Amino acid sequence: MTNGWSPSQALEPVRTYRDFTAGQSLAAKARGLARAAALRALSLGRSPGAAGSDRGGWIRFPFYHHVFDDERKDFGRQLDFMAGLGDFIGLDDAVATLAAGDPIDGRYFCITFDDGFKNGHTNAMPVLLDKKAPAAFFLVTGHVGASLQDDRERLLGFYDSGDLLIEFLDWDDCREMASAGMTFGSHTVNHVHLADLGEAGVEAELKESKQAIETELGRACDHFCCPFGRQGIDFLASRDPGIARRAGYKSFLSAHRGAMTQGGSEMMVKRDHLLAGWGNYQLRYFFS
Ligand SMILES: [Zn+2]
């Protein structure tokens, strides 16, 4: 105890959105405000499903990172909003529908969560169960069970903006969630940019994480969600979905926005990033 650093004062995880934004840079906050104002204007008069590209049905894949303690009510309100537009569908069924190329006979929402934060268990799951919405959680297996004490370096700066510590799920949380009907998929071992790795490196990230999830949860890990998720920047479309398929995955999820319609590939799934506190007008904009 000679370095003057006291764990008790430094290891305080973020549990509220208020503290989360307080830890972000001013520039990031300004961007958020400007975007909210722009969306509010743009969302006026738009109605989900009314666009010409929505001939027939669709499946949308909203994706979240966290539901903080002060966002549970808003998250429930968002699920109610989605339930007013369509039906919830589990990831296995959504992927099977896309893979079969079957007509999509309605509007469906398949809820997903990236990164495996603990608030997925403490805050998101109770609301999901209450609203009867199945969801899939994508784990960074090297972070599961990470303790704030031992993994401070790894946890700090998980987000680019600021000095934030956010707790991760442990395997007991995951087993409980799986028993409650939640699906688990892989988000790599180390939350890496696949595009920066050679083929063997990508293969290792995909195979080792799949193996860990299957061993710990005693069930198949069929789905892969690419960290950061942008084609050509974070992954190579000509290479990585193929590696995923050879590793035994049945899907590859990206971070590109949009609805999935009949004929869309389950190995290139588009998703809509959401924050749990966003207003319905923001959802309306992204869903239209
Ligand atoms: Zn991620």
Per-residue pLDDT tens digits for 191-216 = 999 999 999 999 999 999 999 999 99
Residue 227 CA to ligand 1 center (angstroms) comes to 4
CA distance 97 to 275: 27
Question: How many domains, the chain?
Answer: 1
In a domain, 20, yes or no: no
What's the pTM value of the predicted model, to 2 decimals? 0.89
Distances (CA, A) of 284 to 45, 155, 161, 180, 238: 10, 33, 27, 30, 33
Amino acid, single-letter form, for residue 161: S
CA distance 145 to 142: 8
Residues with CB in 5 Å of ion ligand 1: 114-115, 227
Measured CA angle at 273 (ends 270, 277), to 5 deg: 155
In a domain, 238, yes or no: yes
What are residue 194's phi and psi, to 5 degrees? -60, -35
Residue 192 CA to ligand 1 center (angstroms) comes to 9
Residues of the chain above pLDDT 90, percent: 73
* Tokens of residue 10, six digits: 């430094």
Residue 104 CA to ligand 1 center (angstroms) comes to 28
In a domain, 15, yes or no: no
Tens digits of residue pLDDT in 62-100: 999 999 999 999 999 999 999 999 999 999 999 999 999
In a domain, 22, yes or no: no
User: What is residue 22's predicted lDDT score, i.e. its pLDDT?
Assistant: 79
In a domain, 117, yes or no: yes
In a domain, 37, yes or no: no
Residue 206's CATH number: 3.20.20.370
Q: Is 30 left (phi over 0), alpha (psi -120 to 50) or beta?
A: alpha
Tokens 């979240």 label which residue?
A: 64
In a domain, 205, yes or no: yes
Residue 136 CA to ligand 1 center (angstroms) comes to 13
* Domain range enclosing 132: 60-286
Tens digits of residue pLDDT in 23-72: 766 566 666 766 667 666 666 556 655 444 446 899 999 999 999 999 99
In a domain, 104, yes or no: yes
Residue 3 CA to ligand 1 center (angstroms) comes to 33
Distances (CA, A) of 93 to 109, 124, 250: 11, 21, 11
